[in-house]
A and B are shown apart, each in its own frame.
Chain A
């Protein structure tokens, strides 16, 4: 297996608000290799968005604190990176697509300027005009020409097939029209039919779906090694959602970046991700290949979540729900955080936190990519209704 682009180990993120401390993310570990899509699914408030923003260190600190753990991105632990160096990791290193396309574009600038700014940041870093990240033992070197064996290299080949923009970078002097052409190429990449017109528009003149496409184009134009999509379709109308999702799926096939896809929608995750992590109350309770997890869930929460998905409501009558409510994360229940709502809960669940253990007892315990569940009674989950 190739080196992971991102490897998160035992990450814990807390929010300190007033006198209370909220454990938003507890002990989360995951790895993403180039070209792989890891989905994180969970209900509102389970910490999945906090996890997404913690990785590029985008959370305001304070109130957020990264309590323990590491976020190793291409060999560098981002937890130890200084505030001043953080911008060097973002953009060309880690790109992000946000949930709210309506407000994520600056209302004062035209589409052209916003995408052009991203491309310029990448050009400057490639040319060494802007300081690149030098924090770790494996520094990012943007000055080297794209090399097909690296993630950035394969991305460069895939995203700009015309080669015009690549040459511009090599020549170190992009002419105006070449530059404009590069901006246009990203608008075409996100399937915008009339890019020439869109370029000159302001965000408020665009629809929500269009704005989300621009956001995607903006993130991709920096050729990030890791792309984090934080509920990219959730704020859109259902029809637009489907369009953007189709686009995302197509782009996932084209772009060989490592992708972290956050969603509360099981269907979206099933369609896009290779592996899925199910989050509950700040912890990953089940992890594994998407098909396996969804076909044969081994955690009671996953099972109940799948049952509660609206796809079933016609056959089963009223929508099934999970009894109880999400725990208050300032005082999470001891032991397994799901035990107050769980039909299988016993004394041990109240006392001890179950580890994320392989479902198949014969599998190597240290593998990150096999089906694992954090439940002492994972064998009995299938017996649940």
Chain B
């Protein structure tokens, strides 16, 4: 029937195999984009660098594009993510930064789910009334806000107004406990350090809210639309006729079916969330790979780091594919009629 655990394993396996061509495409595209115009441009890119740097750069980027690509892909398959033109290896930096980004994105996703979805339910429940209009104004304004603008407004005005810190992971640069996971809140919890847990949450809430606010619109809108589709259906009427209160009719019987669409859309927002981290992490000085990516493409006057940029793009691509895979699995979990194949 396509509903056995074996089918799920097969389904996941197939989808992960599809990841290979996706990643190859992503690598080729990013590589070409970053390296195409670079030939002979080392002097322009590093105007104030020492002769050693220029020479190293020329040695690396002076070769024909195909040669460079073969060299890059060979080292990549050996597990070497390359290094910046200044010689800093990419891998350790990314390994240290990735957890912070995952933490930020998961926090944003959590806010999108616990705020965005109920807002969609409320909008559908009071469709055409003032609550519906308010919700629509809220999510449309999030949708229409450019990430950099939202982030800057939050960091400069909203954060100080609410007394929230607007930079970094903790109030001290280095916390007084070992950072096992490099996720600020998780590390504080592991260390059973309650004040630092609160402190970390205070630092997390603003960037996560900005990311969530900007990406929430689609989840709210899809929830509202599919709730409006589900509410007139017969089984919602049956649920009412059982004597269930309106809350359970909405959040158990109707939302359970409406979520099927929302889940798919949440998978799609993964791209937006990850892309948003580049700006949000830079504005809020969040030590994740978004900030790393910003620096890697030369943002803020830093030295361009093309290997690093490609690595971030690869990780984002994996993130998007995995997020959609999880969404598809959830789709089958929520809807018993769906077969995994």
Chain A residues with CB under 8 Å of chain B are 56, 58, 83, 87-96, 98, 100, 103-109, 117-118, 121, 125, 202, 204, 215, 218-219, 222
Contacts and interface: CB of A to CB of B under 8 A. Distances in A.
A204 B336 CA distance: 9
Counting chain B CB atoms within 10 Å of each CB, the highest count among A58, A87, A93, A107 belongs to: A87
Given A87-B245, A87-B246, A98-B234, A107 B336 contact: yes
Given A98-B237, A106-B257, A91 B242 contact: yes
Contact of A107 (B240, B243, B246, B335): B335
A62 to B, nearest CB: 11
Contacts of A83: 246
Contacts of A218: 238, 242
B245 A98 contact: no
A56 B337 contact: no
A105 B240 contact: no
B235 A107 contact: yes
Contacts of B242: 90-91, 117-118, 121, 218, 222
B234 A104 contact: yes
28 contacts: A83-B246, A87-B240, A88-B243, A90-B240, A90-B242, A91-B241, A91-B243, A91-B244, A95-B241, A96-B241, A98-B238, A104-B234, A104-B235, A104-B238, A105-B235, A106-B253, A106-B256, A107-B335, A107-B336, A107-B337, A117-B242, A118-B242, A125-B243, A202-B337, A204-B336, A204-B337, A215-B238, A218-B242
Contacts of A96: 241
B243 A87 contact: yes
A205 to B, nearest CB: 8
B239 interface: yes
A90 B336 contact: no
7 residue pairs, one from A and one from B, having the closest CB atoms: A91-B243, A103-B234, A90-B243, A106-B235, A202-B336, A104-B234, A96-B241
Interface residues of B, number: 20
B334 interface: yes
A121 B234 contact: no
Nearest to A219: B241
A41 to B, nearest CB: 22
B300 to A, nearest CB: 49
B336 A108 contact: yes
Interface of B: 233-235, 237-246, 253, 256-257, 334-337
Counting chain A CB atoms within 10 Å of each CB, the highest count among B235, B244, B253, B334 belongs to: B235
A87 B257 contact: no
Given A106-B253, A107-B335, A108-B257, A58 B234 contact: no
Contacts of A222: 242-243
Contacts of B253: 106
B164 to A, nearest CB: 38
B243 A121 contact: yes
A155 to B, nearest CB: 15
A239 to B, nearest CB: 23
A83 B125 CA distance: 14
A93 B241 CA distance: 10
Contacts of B334: 108
Nearest to A90: B243
Contact of A121 (B237, B244, B256, B335): B244
A121 B238 CA distance: 14
Counting chain A CB atoms within 10 Å of each CB, the highest count among B239, B242, B244, B256 belongs to: B242
A104 B233 CA distance: 8
A108 B234 contact: no
Given A58-B237, A202-B337, A108 B243 contact: no
B238 to A, nearest CB: 5
B331 to A, nearest CB: 12
Contacts of B243: 87-93, 121, 125, 222
B231 to A, nearest CB: 10
Contacts of A103: 233-235
Contacts of B336: 107-108, 202, 204
A106 B237 contact: no
A126 to B, nearest CB: 12
A93 B234 CA distance: 20
Contacts of A106: 235, 238-239, 253, 256-257
B233 to A, nearest CB: 6
A109 to B, nearest CB: 8
A98 B240 CA distance: 12
A122 to B, nearest CB: 8
